[in-house]
Chain A
Amino acid sequence: DAGITQSPRYKITETGRQVTLMCHQTWSHSYMFWYRQDLGHGLRLIYYSAAADITDKGEVPDGYVVSRSKTENFPLTLESATRSQTSVYFCASSEAPGLGEAFFGQGTRLTVV
């Protein structure tokens, strides 16, 4: 199916564990983004990527790592999860972010206990 998919949809992990959230898009969009959404903060940009092998930090990158070896995949890794990283994570992609729509995945609800 065409679109942007995230996995897993729900994840519970323990403090200190490494967690990877997956994001896959089938449109071959150049740009991909990771956001976290918390009550009272809206969507905050963690990392973004303009193309394969090109990534850059957003507003809240600390504690997160990304990679983009293939255009269609943009995984987000929490190297050592903390309770403050409990959030809903959204991946998005866009062909031309200045001119058009960013399409969002379904979101991953992550709980760190």
Chain B
Amino acid sequence: QKEVEQNSGPLSVPEGAIASLNCTYSDRVSQSFFWYRQYSGKSPELIMSIYSNGDKEDGRFTAQLNKASQYVSLLIRDSQPSDSATYLCAVMDSSYKLIFGSGTRLLVRP
């Protein structure tokens, strides 16, 4: 069973701080990695995708990928209360199935 693991949280950070969200995956052949944000009662929406080792930055968001360690992370700089949501890590497996972790709930305190 291919797995994607996340700490369920909640991760609580003060406004303006850096939030660091982590994810590990079990399928070594995975090539595509995604971070989705889900507000309570809403559907998931993509915020970052990453395909190669290293960092990828988009505004306040940075995704980091280390395939050797089977580890992907999301950093949110200058966290805002509007960033409070559940963040879902997703991994595309070799048969194009998108496998999700259970999500990390982020709370940004004003």
Contact = CB atoms under 8 A, between A and B. Distances in A.
Interface of A: 31, 33, 35, 40-45, 48, 50, 56, 58-59, 90, 92, 94, 97-102, 104-107
B46 A102 contact: yes
Interface pairs A-B: 5 shortest CB-CB: A42-B102, A104-B43, A43-B100, A101-B46, A97-B96
Contacts of B43: 90, 104-107
Nearest to A109: B41
B92 A98 contact: yes
Nearest to B102: A42
Contacts of A43: 44, 88, 100
Nearest to B95: A56
B97 A48 contact: yes
B8 A97 contact: no
Given A90-B43, A97-B92, A107-B43, A102 B49 contact: no
B46 A99 contact: no
Interface residues of B, number: 25
Interface string B75-110: 000000000000010101001111111110000000
Interface in B1-60: 1, 6, 8, 31-32, 34, 42-46, 49, 51
Contact of A104 (B1, B31, B45, B95): B45
A41 B45 CA distance: 18
B96 A42 contact: no
Among A31, A41, A97, the most chain B Cβ lie within 10 Å of the Cβ of: A97
B47 to A, nearest CB: 10
Nearest to B101: A42
17 contacts: A35-B100, A40-B8, A42-B100, A42-B101, A42-B103, A43-B100, A45-B97, A48-B97, A50-B96, A59-B99, A97-B32, A97-B96, A98-B92, A100-B49, A101-B46, A106-B42, A107-B43
